[in-house]
Amino acid sequence: MSLSTLLSTWRNDPHIASNVAAWRTFPARPARFAPFPDDLHPALTNALRARGIRALYTHQAAAWRHAQAGRHLVVVTGTASGKTLCYNLPVLDRLLRDPQARALYLFPTKALAQDQKDTLSHLITALGDEPAVGGRSSAVSVATYDGDTPAEARPAIRATARLVVSNPDMLHVGVLPHHTLWAAFFRGLQFVVIDEMHAYRGVFGSHVANVLRRLKRIARFYGASPQFVLTSATIANPVELAGRLIEEPVVLVDDDGAARGARHFLIYNPPVVNRDLGLRRSALLESVRLAGDLLEHNLQTIVFARARRTVELLLRYLRRGPSPSALSEREGQIRGYRSGYLPRQRREIERGLREGRVRAVVATNALELGIDIGGMGAAVLTGYPGTIAGTWQQAGRAGRQPTSPLRGQEVSLVVLVTSANPLDQFLARHPDYFFDRSPEQALINPDNLLILLGHLRCAAFELPFRAGESFGRVEGARVAEFLQFLQEVGILHRSGDKYFWMADQYPAEDVSLRSASPEAVMLLAWAGDEWTTIGQVDYASAHWMVHPGAVYLHEGQAYLVEELDLAQSLAGGAQSRADGAQPVARLRATDVDYYTQPRSETTVRLLEKRVETGVRGAIKTHGEIAVTTQVIGFRRVKWFTHEQLGVGEVSLPPTELQTTGYWLSLTEETVARLRDQGLWTNDPNDYGPDWPAQRDRARARDGYRCQSCGAPEKGSALSLPKGSVLSLPKGSVLSLPKGSV
C-alpha cells in the first residue's frame, strides 16, 4: 500500500475529510547542479564520485566560492538539502592542503555532533591515503570531544585531532578554560562551523554568543583568526542572527538547489463531540488514529508532541494498536525519543530508524534538528509547535532521501492536528495565516547584564584583561566598569595595566548555558536486586514529573514514584548539596490502569514596571516579575478513556523565578465594545449588593474553615483551584444566581 492510496482513502472518508481545515500540495522541484570547482582538491573530487555524487547543488557551489574568498557565511536551505557539504568541502580542502590547519565543528546537542561525526568519518575514509605535503602527513584526523569522551582519550585528541567535533557547552566548560592544553590546536584554527544556528536564540543563544567572544579572544592570543561557516533552518533574520553570534559581517547562501519531492500538508481539526460546549475530540487520540492509518499503509512515520508526557501517552496508545494483543509485536517497531532517555537508548533508536526496523517514532522537538534518521514517509504534529519556523522544521523531517542525486525525493505527508488551544483553533480557521506568513525572527541579547558579567568572569580566568580592552562589541570603557566591580569584590587583582584572576572557584562551572540550574535529578528504578539508572530529568521539572505518587512514563513503561529526594546522593548517604549530593527519584515498575497529571498553583507578582506604552485598544507593559509555582497535588486519569479517578496531595516547596514579563491590558473602551457584541464573559458574577457582607458572615459562621475538609483559610477566602470538581450529595440542588458560571 502507498501514500497515494491512503490519501485517496482519506479524501473519500467523511470522518476524515470533513475535519480537514486545509489541504495544500507543494509540487516537486528538480535539482539544480553545478560542476565540481576546478580548485577543489582532487582527493575530494574522487571521494565524492566514489559515493555516487557527480556534481554539486548550486547552493553548495556558491558556499564553496564564498569560503574560498575568505568570507564568513550562513547557509539557509531546506532539510536534507546537503548543507553538510557546504562546510565539509572547504574545511577538508584546507586541511588536506595545510598540515597545520585545524577546524572546530559545534553542534547544539551531543547526539547531533555524534551523528555528523560519523558522516564526516565516512567521507574522510573515502579520501584514502593522501601523500605527504612538505614531508609532513596531511591525513585528516577527526574526533568528538564532549562530556561523553573518556578521560583517557582526551589528551590524544588535544594533541593530534585536526578536526574536533563538539558542542557549545563543552567549549565553554571543557576547552576554553584549559586552552593552554590546546595551544597547537588554537594556533592552527582556521575554520569554526556552527550548525543548526537557529537553535541559538533567546537566553541560550545569548550565552553562546559570549562563548564565541571568548573563543575569538583566545584564538587571537595564539595568532589565529578563524573563518566562520553557519547553517540554519528557515528563520526570518539569518544574517542578523549570524552577525550577532559571531560579530562579523556574513554573506547569505539561500538559493536552495536541492531536489524536493511533492509534499501534502494537512491541517486537521478534530471533530466536535459536544456542540453545545464546543468540545472537540482529543488531538492526542486523533493523532493516534491518523498515525495508525499511516502504519497500516507501511509508511515510516514520525509523530511530534510538545511535551514529554504526551510523547509517552502517544507511545503507549500506538503500541496498543487495534487490540491489546498487538502490544508485544509493536513494541520494537514503535519507539519514543525525548530528553531524559539515556544516550545509548537514543543511538539505538536512531540506528533503528535509519535501518528501517523502527517504523514509527514519537518524539519531542529533540528530533527537529538534523540527526540522520533516514527518510520518513510522513510526519504527524500533535498540536501546533508554537512557531511557524518550528512547524516547518518538524514538517521537514518527512520526505525520503533520493537514492541518487539525479532523482527527486518521493511524495511525503505532513499532518498538523490542532488541539483545543485557542492559537491552534485560530490556525484551523485561518490556515492562510500559517501558509502565507514568514517564519519568526530569532533574537538574542549577548549584552544582558547577568549573562555578560558571567562570561567576563570566565574570560578573565582564561586570559588576563588589559586596561581598555574590549570584549567583542562591548566597548573598553564598559568592560572597565565590570572589571572594576570584579576587583572590588575580590575576584580580580589589578597589576599594572592588567587584571588577573585571583578567586579560588572555577567560574565556567557556575554558568549554565541552557538553564537556571545545570543540575539534573537521576531516575533510579528497582530492578529486582538493585537500583538501576533509567534516565534523568532537569531539576526544575522534577517537581511536576517525579513527585511522590506520580506515574512516570519511560519508553511506554509506567513507573510509580516512591520517593523524590532533592538532597540525596546516589550512594544513599544523606549529604548536603554543597558536598556533591545528587538529587534522585526512586521508582518501581507498575501496571496501574491510570496515569497522573500534576496540579499546581502559579502566582505572578509585579516587581517593577519598566516601560508602559499605549497601543490601539490596550496598554502594553514590560517589567520585572516574580513567578512562584508550587505543585500541590495530582490527578489520576484512566488510560484511553481519560476519565478522572481521583486526586492525591503532594507537599513540595514552591519554586520562584525572577524574570522579565510582557503583557497587554485591555482598555475600558475595548472591554465595553466586546461586552456590547456579546464577546466578553469575564465580568464578575453579580450576587447582589450585599453579597460581600453575606460572604463574610458565612465565613465567620464556619470558623474560616472549609466545611468539607476542615482546611483553614490562609490569608484569603477559600476558593476552588482551577480544574477542581464540585461534588454534591445525591439529590442536592445547586442554585446559582442568573449569569453565574
CA-CA distance, 400 to 411, in Å (whole number)? 8
The whole-number average pLDDT for the span 450-474 is: 95
What phi and psi values does residue 52 have, to the nearest 5 degrees? 85, 10
The burial of 496, by beta-carbon neighbours within 10 Å (0-12 exposed, 13-18 middle, 19 or more buried), is given as exposed
Specify the amino acid at residue 704.
Y
Per-residue pLDDT at 152 exceeds 90: yes
pLDDT score at 713? 77
Share above pLDDT 90 across residues of the chain, in percent, rounded to a whole number: 56
CA-CA distance, 433 to 415, in Å (whole number)? 17
pLDDT score at 731? 53
Is the model more confident about 551 or about 116?
Answer: 551
- What's the chain's average pLDDT? 86
CA-CA distance, 31 to 260, in Å (whole number)? 8
Say if residues 56 and 33 touch (Cβ distance below 8 Å): yes
pLDDT score at 578? 41
Confidence band of 321 (pLDDT split at 50, 70, 90): low
pLDDT score at 727? 54
Contacts 24+ apart (CB under 8 A), 236-239: 236/389, 236/438, 236/439, 236/440, 236/441, 236/442, 237/441, 237/442, 238/74, 238/76, 238/197, 238/198, 239/74
CA-CA distance, 320 to 288, in Å (whole number)? 10
pLDDT score at 329? 58
Per-residue pLDDT at 567 exceeds 80: no
Confidence band of 443 (pLDDT split at 50, 70, 90): very high
Is the model more confident about 139 or about 600?
Answer: 600
As given in the structure block, the three cell numbers for residue 27 are: 509540487
pLDDT score at 343? 76
Per-residue pLDDT at 56 exceeds 90: yes
Is the model more confident about 179 or about 277?
Answer: 179
Q: What stretch of H or E contains 117? A: helix 110-127
Confidence band of 125 (pLDDT split at 50, 70, 90): confident
As given in the structure block, the three cell numbers for residue 585 are: 527519584
Per-residue pLDDT at 163 exceeds 90: yes
Lowest mean pLDDT among 70-84, 112-126, 234-248, 281-295: 112-126
Is the model more confident about 500 or about 330?
Answer: 500
With a CB cutoff of 8 Å and minimum separation 6, the contacts of 683 are: 675
CA-CA distance, 185 to 56, in Å (whole number)? 31
CA-CA distance, 251 to 73, in Å (whole number)? 5
pLDDT score at 131? 45
**pLDDT tens-digit readout, 388-397:** 988 998 998 8
* Nearest Cα residue to 558 out of 647, 636, 646: 636
* Nearest Cα residue to 283 out of 21, 578, 630: 21
- The upper half-sphere exposure of residue 269, i.e. CA atoms within 13 Å in the direction of its Cβ, equals 23
How many of the other CB atoms lie within 10 Å of CB of 540? 16
CA-CA distance, 300 to 358, in Å (whole number)? 8
The listed range with the strongest mean pLDDT (268-282, 451-465, 668-682) is 451-465
With a CB cutoff of 8 Å and minimum separation 6, the contacts of 529 are: none
pLDDT score at 709? 65
The whole-number average pLDDT for the span 320-331 is: 57
The whole-number average pLDDT for the span 680-709 is: 80
Per-residue pLDDT at 739 exceeds 50: no
pLDDT score at 551? 93
Say if residues 375 and 368 touch (Cβ distance below 8 Å): no
Per-residue pLDDT at 407 exceeds 50: no
pLDDT score at 571? 38
Per-residue pLDDT at 534 exceeds 50: yes
pLDDT score at 472? 94
